[in-house]
Amino acid sequence: MKVSTILDQIDLGTIELPEFQRGYVWNREQVRAFMESLYRRHPVGSLLVWVTQRTKARVRHGETAPAETVHLLLDGQQRITTLYGILRGRPPRFFEGNHLAFTGLFFNVETETFEFYAPLKMKDNPFWISVTELMQRGIGEFVTRFSAIPEARPNLPLYIQRLNRLEQIKEIEFHIDQVTGEDKTIDVVVEIFNKVNSGGTKLSQADLALAKVCVSWPEARETMRACLDKWRRAGFSFRLEWLLRCLNAVVTGEAKFDKLTRVPPDELREGLKRTEQAIDKLLNLISSRLGLDHDRVLGSRYAFPVLARYLVLRDLRLPDAQEVNKLLYWYLHTLLWGRYAGSTETVLNQDLALIEPPEGSLDRLIDHLRTSRGDLRLHPDDFRASSLGARFYPLLYTLARVTHARDWCSGIELSSGLLGKMNQLQVHHIFPKALLYSHGYKQSEVNALANYCFLLQDCNLAIADRAPEEYLEEVAARFPGALESQWVPMDRRLWRIERYRDFLAARRELLAQAANEFLAQLLRGTAPERPVVPPVLEREEPAASRVAATEADRALLDCIDWVREHQLPDGELLHPVKDPETGETVTLDLAWPAGLQEGLSEPVAIVLDQPPEVVDAARRAGFRCFTSVAAFQEYVLRDVLALTS
């Protein structure tokens, strides 16, 4: 089929150009190279479409409108989107991505080269022409232009030939392979595509499900984006695939997406509304009762499909406080043990099956988790990990919010709904980093979880790098019980730098004891019912995602802002990954499991202040790891956006 015909069919809706989750991910260099290949008539591959039915919403009197065949473009999305953007001069509908990647492409009729508009180079040079203008206006006015330029006249026939060759890109034929037949489920189509396209972008079930949903319900993507934007403003960033997974669980009760594509649009709309309500309730509950009120401490995101389904089965109402506590108990344990770090879909199906019927389902979930783990009791060595990326870091944060931990300069409880810049919680190294490094301690020891506590910002600044044997004594005298409230061993001999390792061991004992007591309260239903902080979605001012910030925290969160400014997909904070060699779960500070050019580039992660074994595990799991934000940004500019050489 000719390029021009394909674009016409897209405008008519006969061929759908689904953007999936990844949207448009090509950079300018990929666009330039593609157009040059077309101009040179080099092979650029065939297209693959899935011929399927367009599900119609119900109409009056309960009748269903007749189904309509639609061709969903599976392989060729980036190529056809590029051609559409250049030939039409605008992005196609449903476009998501950086339209500047294909805007402003120029062609030099003298050198037969393609480049993006550069004013100093092209402004007064008539031999550079806009590819989009040529495609839309034809070659006539350009022939007239060159005819009026004395130095161009001798080569006018050659220029006309080149202009014709460029314009005739519209007439290039693409071979189109079709996947058709009622037996072609999502699983089958994805398998066919990934076999055909073994060397390129992988298609996921979520990709295809979203494409099919958007065909029947064109506003689906926009509606879901509105939900994601609302949660982002409250301090939580989620991916579209995650929300689709939650919707699928709520509507179908399963992790696989096959059934979702057969749900009528009106049921999908109602299902998304219920999913949004369930997630709102969960975020409010987890933030207010556990204090996990921003991105940097919210873990186990793939527990949410199960939790959302459970709430919807309960008609969004939890029967009593004991049920609430059990739900939070199960959620925390999925976070602590990396429940969804491996084969997410398989584990989700197991857990979704356990919550029906809803009566007694939390007991079944907890029993299953206990059976798979063998023991849900925490041990001191569980707190041996280091860095803010450790799975047990959110638990440490929770304990500080729910067990009356107190600030060491004011004596006030950290569970209060604190407002104001200087009242934001920050991570404090009990033994200062500079002091530890000067005495030869390793990075993993310096950033041990057992060396962390939480203080108000002004207190953190006031203590600075003072020796613990000095300032801890002052805190003990001014605010009796404040040190104990954050599980500091009160044996003064352990406050000396030469006893640092003994201090860590003693504090791990205290942390494990405090954590087990709190978790036992949740399981028994005796945990305090009052919220420790205002619900995050009910505040006049949303939770700032920079609370509990360290220098590493701020660097990561600023990096997320930087990535968004470059119109690239959000990464996932505290992303769990299972080491394929050891089976252990490690947590990456910030990760893009599908790459920054989703599906086209390798998985990427930023790992700050973590021990080498975490980096090694991530690399074995297929991630390209960066141990500094600056190195990551250099990679993005050079290899992803192609803005530097």
Average confidence (pLDDT) over 312-328: 93
Q: Do the strands 585-592 and 604-606 form a parallel or antiparallel pair, or are they unpaired? A: antiparallel
Average confidence (pLDDT) over 500-506: 97
Q: For residue 587, what pLDDT is reported?
A: 83
pLDDT score of 548 more than 90? no
Q: For residue 421, what pLDDT is reported?
A: 38
Q: For residue 206, what pLDDT is reported?
A: 80
- Determine the Cα–Cα distance for residues 101 and 92; give it in Å rounded to an integer: 14
Rg of the chain's alpha carbons, rounded to an integer? 29
Q: For residue 541, what pLDDT is reported?
A: 52
pLDDT score of 598 more than 90? no
pLDDT band of 200, cuts 50, 70, 90: low
Q: Count other Cβ atoms within 10 Å, centred on residue 461.
A: 13
Residue with more model confidence, 399 or 374: 399
| Under 8 Å between Cβ of 139 and 160 | yes
Q: For residue 19, what pLDDT is reported?
A: 59
Output the DSSP codes for 411-454. Answer: --BTTS---SGGGSEEEEESS-HHHHHHTT--HHHHTBGGGEEE
pLDDT digits (tens, 9 = 90+) for 391-437: 888 999 999 988 889 999 999 888 754 543 334 678 899 999 999 99
pLDDT score of 534 more than 80? no
Average confidence (pLDDT) over 348-365: 94
pLDDT digits (tens, 9 = 90+) for 164-193: 999 999 999 999 988 888 777 777 777 777
Find all residues with CB under 8 Å of 177, minimum gap 6, and list them. 46, 47, 48, 49, 196
pLDDT score of 261 more than 90? no
Q: For residue 16, what pLDDT is reported?
A: 82
Per the prediction, the chain carries an average pLDDT of 86
pLDDT score of 600 more than 80? no
pLDDT score of 198 more than 60? no
pLDDT digits (tens, 9 = 90+) for 505-516: 999 999 999 999
Residue with more model confidence, 215 or 155: 155
Tokens of 160: 């006309």
Quick one: how far is CA 589 from the chain centroid?
12
pLDDT score of 102 more than 70? yes
Q: For residue 533, what pLDDT is reported?
A: 67
Q: For residue 48, what pLDDT is reported?
A: 87
pLDDT above 90 covers a percentage of the chain that reads 51
Q: For residue 545, what pLDDT is reported?
A: 42
606 φ/ψ angles, rounded to the nearest 5 degrees:
-110, 130
Q: Which of 401, 405, 407, 304 lies closest to 351, judged by CA?
A: 304
Domain boundaries, the chain: 3-179, 217-373, 380-538, 551-640
pLDDT above 70 covers a percentage of the chain that reads 90
Q: For residue 63, what pLDDT is reported?
A: 38
Q: Do the strands 68-75 and 15-16 form a parallel or antiparallel pair, or are they unpaired? A: parallel
Q: For residue 422, what pLDDT is reported?
A: 37
Q: Do the strands 176-179 and 47-54 form a parallel or antiparallel pair, or are they unpaired? A: parallel
- Determine the Cα–Cα distance for residues 574 and 582; give it in Å rounded to an integer: 20
Q: For residue 67, what pLDDT is reported?
A: 47
Q: Between the ranges 62-66, 259-263, 329-333, where is the mean pLDDT highest?
A: 329-333
pLDDT band of 493, cuts 50, 70, 90: very high
- Name the burial class of residue 43, with classes exposed (0-12), middle (13-18) and buried (19+) by CB atoms within 10 angstroms of its CB: exposed
Q: Which residues are bridge partners to 578 per DSSP? A: 585
Query: What's the DSSP call for residue 400?
Result: H
Q: For residue 323, what pLDDT is reported?
A: 92
Residues 475-484: contacts with CB under 8 Å, at least 24 apart? 475/408, 475/409, 478/411, 479/406, 479/408, 479/411, 481/406, 482/406, 482/407, 482/408, 482/411, 483/408
Q: Which residues are bridge partners to 106 per DSSP? A: 115, 130
| Under 8 Å between Cβ of 405 and 485 | yes
